[in-house]
């Protein structure tokens, strides 16, 4: 069985080997879940601090944990934004003169967009607009994390600013009156840093087949719980609407859920929760990947199931509204797939609890469908639907806004219905073509 190579989360405390945690705490360092580096696990690097000299680390730790509030009103704001790939996160810090409660109290800021693939070198300035604030679990005190979106100096949203469009959808009076809720299940995979191979997997080899790992306990089945748990608490502290977490089917893979959150908040909370996860894995020396199919073969991919409901779906008679929403979703399947994450075709194969990327399907309690409706929703005649198609690397602003648009704002056009019918007919013929070559010729004439 695979040897666990899970590094202990040390949270900026490196050289505690020589002294037990209690002694370190007594010596003045506020110790935050210290664990000694276990035998057989490689101690990972903790920022730039030398782990050789206990004294150095303790003093550094005191500075990192220092509560500055008795000495200054000033706080540190970490401005966070989505970078040029549409999935990378960037951030930088600035001093704000006093604690703030609302993003409107914060100044706009800028950065060099030519260094993030978001602007040409000769006109490189991109402007950051603060949009949502969270408590900073790393710096503590009144310090904050700030979710920003990105604009040209003339005030136009830049192409990678997906929040702006989502905010428009979520401020449409029709959408507002439907109070759209989203519960997002973010799956992710942890990799050993230097080999880019999942945490807990033997380097150059594979663990035993899937089965024992989902929601598992035990050092031969659960890899990276420290990271999942540190992230859970950090998110609660920050004010993220995190609703749970679980170990996943593929070893080294985890999930957490955020929601139900209303409208644009779902996107803000997912992005900040991803930022916190990147920071924690950075400290742990573990690599976070949101690739939808990190390991080819008989291993589960990573998704971002999006549970969704409107006010009318949650009220009596809601199941009928859900069915109408599913009809709309079926007619726009291709559009949704194109917006649900890069590389999703490697994940949506029809195996491993997914539906094929080419076919739209829905069902009650069926995890092999594009859309699943829970037993509870069917029984009560109201509730929510689960869109199982989004990949782990999807942009939550894009996915949530498109769900609201397709189910609240968009009405099926005759054209869309004809197109969908045509697609179905072609698929039918293609299926038959495998068995009857004359039909095959017919299909070729028609395509
Ligand atoms: P699964 O059974 O698919 O693993 P999870 O328990 O992981 O589901 O996630 C379900 C998510 O759906 C949670 O985030 C939960 O908050 C959210 N949720 C529950 N009710 C609703 C609702 N009415 N509308 C939208 N989301 C909801
Ligand atoms: Mn889940
Ligand atoms: Mn899952
Ligand atoms: Mn799910």
Three-class DSSP labels, the chain: CCCCCCCCCCCCCCCCCCCCHHHHHHCCCCCCCCCCCCCCCCCCCCCCCCCCCHHHHHHHHHHHHCCCCCCCCCEEEEEEEECCCCCCEEEEEEEECCCCCCHHHCCCEEEEHHHCCCCCHHHCEEEEEEEEEEECCCCCCCCEEEEEEEECCCCCECCCCHHHHHHHHHHCHHHHHCCCEEEEEEEEEEEECCCCEECCCCCCCCCCCCCCCCCCCCCCCCCCHHHHHHHHHHHHHHCCCEEEEEECCCCCEEEEEEEEEECHHHHHHHHHHHHHHHHHHHHHCEEEECCCCCCCCCCCCCECCEEEECHHHHCCCHHHHHHHHHHHHHHCHHHHHHCCCCCHHHCCCCCCCCCCCCCCCEEECCCCCCEEECHHHHHHCCCCEEECCCECCCCHHHHHHHHHHHHHHCCCCHHHHHHHHHHHHHHHHHHHHCCCHHHHHHHHHHC
pTM metric for this prediction? 0.86
Residue 254 Cβ < 6 Å to ligand 1: no
Residue 314 Cβ < 6 Å to ligand 1: yes
**pLDDT by 10s per residue, the chain, length 447:** 333 333 333 333 222 233 333 333 333 333 333 333 333 334 444 455 555 555 677 889 899 999 999 999 999 999 999 999 999 999 999 999 999 999 999 999 999 999 999 988 888 899 999 999 999 999 999 999 999 999 999 999 999 999 999 999 999 999 999 999 999 999 999 999 999 999 999 999 999 999 999 999 999 999 999 999 999 999 999 999 999 999 999 999 999 999 999 999 999 999 999 999 999 999 999 999 999 999 999 999 999 999 999 999 999 999 999 999 999 999 999 999 999 999 999 999 999 889 999 999 999 999 999 999 999 999 999 999 999 999 999 999 999 999 999 999 999 988 888 888 888 788 777 766 654 433 332 222 222
170-431: what fold?
Creatine Kinase; Chain A, domain 2 (3.30.590)
Q: By alpha-carbon position, which residue is closest to atom 8 of ligand 1?
A: 185
Ligand 2 centre to CA of 370 (Å) is: 15
70-160: what fold?
Ubiquitin-like (UB roll) (3.10.20)
Q: Which residues surround ligand 4, an ion (CB under 5 A)?
A: 185, 305
Q: By alpha-carbon position, which residue is closest to atom 1 of ligand 1?
A: 185
Domain 70-160 matches domain 170-431 at the CATH topology level: no
Residue 292 Cβ < 6 Å to ligand 1: no
Residue 248 Cβ < 6 Å to ligand 1: no
List the domain boundaries for the chain.
Answer: 70-160, 170-431
Ligand 1 centre to CA of 311 (Å) is: 15
């Amino acid at each position: 069985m695979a040897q666990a190579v899970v590094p202990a989360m040390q949270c900026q405390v490196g050289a505690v080997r020589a002294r037990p945690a209690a002694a370190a705490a007594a010596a003045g360092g506020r110790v935050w879940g210290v664990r000694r580096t276990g035998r057989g696990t490689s101690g990972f690097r903790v920022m730039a601090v030398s782990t050789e000299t206990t004294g150095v680390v303790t003093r550094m730790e005191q500075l990192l944990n220092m509560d500055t509030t008795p000495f200054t009103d000033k706080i540190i704001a970490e401005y966070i934004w989505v970078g040029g790939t549409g999935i990378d996160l960037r951030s930088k810090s600035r001093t704000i003169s006093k604690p703030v409660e609302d993003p409107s109290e914060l100044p706009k800021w800028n950065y060099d967009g030519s260094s993030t693939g978001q602007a040409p070198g000769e006109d490189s300035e991109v402007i950051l607009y603060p949009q949502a604030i969270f408590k900073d679990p790393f710096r503590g005190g009144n310090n904050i994390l700030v979710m920003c979106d990105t604009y040209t100096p003339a005030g136009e949203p830049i192409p990678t600013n997906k929040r702006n469009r989502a905010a428009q959808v979520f401020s449409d009076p029709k959408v507002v009156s439907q109070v759209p809720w989203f519960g997002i299940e973010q799956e992710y995979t942890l990799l050993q840093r230097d080999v880019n191979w999942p945490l807990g997997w033997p380097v150059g080899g594979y663990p035993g087949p899937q089965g024992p790992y989902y929601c598992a306990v035990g050092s031969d089945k659960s890899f990276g719980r420290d990271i999942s748990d540190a992230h859970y608490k950090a998110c609660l502290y920050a004010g993220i609407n995190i609703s749970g977490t679980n170990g996943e089917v593929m070893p080294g893979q985890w999930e957490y859920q955020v929601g139900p959150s209303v409208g644009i908040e779902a996107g803000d909370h997912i992005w900040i929760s991803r930022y916190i996860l990147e920071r924690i894995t950075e400290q742990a020396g573990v690599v976070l990947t949101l690739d939808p199919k990190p390991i080819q073969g008989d291993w589960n991919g990573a998704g971002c199931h999006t549970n969704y409901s409107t006010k009318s779906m949650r009220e009596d008679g809601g199941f009928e509204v859900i069915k109408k929403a599913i009809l709309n979703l079926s007619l726009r399947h291709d559009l949704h797939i194109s917006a649900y994450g890069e590389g999703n075709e490697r994940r949506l194969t029809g195996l491993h609890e997914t539906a094929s990327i080419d076919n739209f399907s829905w069902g009650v309690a069926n995890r092999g469908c594009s859309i699943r409706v829970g037993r509870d929703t069917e029984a009560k005649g109201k509730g929510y639907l689960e869109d199982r198609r989004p990949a782990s690397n999807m942009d939550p602003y894009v996915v949530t806004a498109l769900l609201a648009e397709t189910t609240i704002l968009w009405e099926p056009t005759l054209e869309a219905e004809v197109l969908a019918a045509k697609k179905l007919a072609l698929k039918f013929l293609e299926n038959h073509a495998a068995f009857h070559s004359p039909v095959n010729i017919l299909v070729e004439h028609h395509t």
